[in-house]
Amino acid sequence: EQCYNFLKPGGRLAIVLPDGILGNPNTEYVRDWILKRFKLLASIDLPVETFLPQVGVQASLLFLQKKTQAERDAAINGEDYEVFMAIAEAVGKDRRGVPVYKRDEDGAELLFDELKQVLLRDSLGNEKIISKKSRVKRLDDDLPAISQAYIQFLKGIKL
């Protein structure tokens, strides 16, 4: 409710909520309250490892936009709009917080080509950029791909 109070009409909010609030029949009043006051822009289901090892709660990330009074009045007749939805299955770490890297079907860690550029300065102050190619591991993390998909989704609709 405080987040709602801090926003201007049309203002946007990203919030992490426990899945219990979003799925428990006893908390339907909370979902109703949210949907009456906000337009749901996106819902991203996060894996339980997201906040482990500190907190072991299944959660979702919601992107919301505070409705104007006109939008709230119009919503009485029902609403029809597109919502971005995604499920993140990996966040780059396991339950103990140990990094998890992308692997092939056989379980071997994959290596990816990466080009690094380094700026060198000689004793006379002349600068030279050197490019160095290396092979690196990448975290098994779905969130960067989900963020790119959300950007593409936003380009396809007008807010």
pLDDT value of residue 55 = 79
Cα dihedral 103, 106, 107, 111 sign:
negative
**pLDDT for the residue numbered 81:** 87
Q: Do residues 98 and 140 touch, judged by C-beta distance below 8 A?
A: no
Is the pTM here over 0.85, yes or no? no
- End-to-end Cα, the chain, rounded Å: 23
CA nearest neighbour of 65 among 4, 17, 19:
4
Please report, in tens digits, the pLDDT of each residue of the chain (159 residues total).
899 999 999 999 999 999 988 889 999 999 999 999 999 999 999 998 988 888 778 899 999 999 998 888 887 777 888 999 999 999 999 989 899 999 999 999 999 999 999 889 988 889 989 898 989 999 999 999 999 999 999 898 754
| Tokens read off for 111 | 């290596």
Closest residue by Cα to residue 42 from 86, 91, 12, 81: 86
State the pairing for strand pair 38-45/59-66: antiparallel
The per-residue pLDDT for 158 is 57
Are the beta carbons of 102 and 139 closer than 8 angstroms? yes
Q: CA 146, CA 41: separation in Å to the nearest integer?
A: 14
